[in-house]
Amino acid sequence: MPKDLKIFYASDIHGSEKCFLKFLNAAKFYKADVLILGGDVTGKLIVPLVRHNGTYSAHFLGRDFTCSSEAELTELEKSIRMNGWYPVRMDEDEHRQCQQDEAKRRELMDRTVLQSILRWLDIAETKLKGSGIRCFINAGNDDDDFVDDALRHAKVVENHDGAVVDLDEHHQMVTIGHSNTTPFASPREMPEAELEAHIRATARDVSNLAGAVFTLHAPPHATGLDLAPALEDLKVVTKGGHTVMKSVGSTAVRKVIEDLQPLLALHGHIHESRGTKMLGRTLCINAGSEYSEGILRGALITLAPDRVKTHQLVQA
């Protein structure tokens, strides 16, 4: 009798080490065969830890901190990483230079993000090596290109963005980390026509669409999986004291799913729109994200050879 395939899926942890550790631990907790982290892996902010005559000061979560021992400093660094930010020790001159030089800030951010990704990959190898559990991680629209390079050189973690990979003898996965365009000009965006062509070109290598899993970072348009606050000049629109919500998902993603009808489509990108939706025979899931609270939103899916046997939205 064919064996079921159990998948744990999450997305949009944005540098939260707490969420990343929960993601890795989910394999054992849920007895999953496959872990998938579907994009927007990296964080967005550095927290300077500035050295002053043997002590370090930092401003974090609206509070000022002073650390006078290595133990205090290490504990603060851990707390910063758990919240999805990056602690960086520096002296006063380095801090001043970073405040004044945008290029230096950018170089520091890229270097720090890369170091963090490599450290996470080492953690993943320690936890998963020899377990038989496969772990797939791809970049999302907020992640820079060098994230791909780091992931592709990992020993345990697999990155197949823009490609097709066999999950087992019955299921293949298409992975696309790009999104449709956003107001924020993030690193990985495409106009809808270009995104559609990219997905279709990748999906040509799928031998059995009826059993395919499409991990597409952007959710399909107007499905309830893509509702985000409406923006004008990057400010949230309100009406009658309430936030106005708007469908911002991808028309290209929706069109491809409706045409090709894979078995399962996994999405992220829009943190507020956790849920499920059927598009024809395709089960679409947006796991949502609450990374800033250290909560890992996820989905647990069991695939039989020819159908989605069970699915459940979970959190840790």
Q: In this predicted model, what pLDDT tens digit does every residue of 108-160 receive, in sequence order?
A: 999 999 999 999 999 999 999 999 999 999 999 999 999 998 998 899 999 99
List pLDDT tens digits, range 55-95: 999 999 899 999 999 999 999 999 999 889 999 999 999 99
Element (H, E) at 251: helix 251-260
Burial of 72 (0-12, 13-18, 19+ CB in 10 A): middle
Domains and CATH numbers, the chain: 5-43+116-315 (3.60.21.10), 46-109 (3.30.420)
Contacts of 220 (CB under 8 A, 6+ apart): 226, 249, 250, 253, 254, 257, 265, 267, 277, 279, 284
pLDDT on residue 2: 76
Nearest to residue 172, comparing CAs of 284, 38, 309, 303? Answer: 303
> What is the Cα–Cα distance from 220 to 16, expressed in whole angstroms?
26
Nearest to residue 151, comparing CAs of 118, 199, 200? Answer: 118
pLDDT < 50 regions, the chain: none
245-247 and 231-232 strand pairing: unpaired
Nearest to residue 73, comparing CAs of 50, 96, 92? Answer: 50
DSSP-assigned states of every residue in 61-125: TTEEEEE-SHHHHHHHHHHHHHTT-EEEEEEHHHHHHHHH-HHHHHHHHHHHHHHHHHHHHHHHH
pLDDT on residue 153: 83
Q: Which amino acid does the sequence have at 244?
A: V
Cα end-to-end span (Å), the chain: 32
Residue 66, phi-psi category: left (phi > 0), alpha (psi -120 to 50), beta (remainder): beta
Look at the chain and count its residues: 316
pLDDT on residue 5: 98
Kindly report the number of other CB atoms within 10 A of residue 261's CB atom. Answer: 15
pLDDT on residue 75: 95
Two structure tokens written together for 104: 């230096």
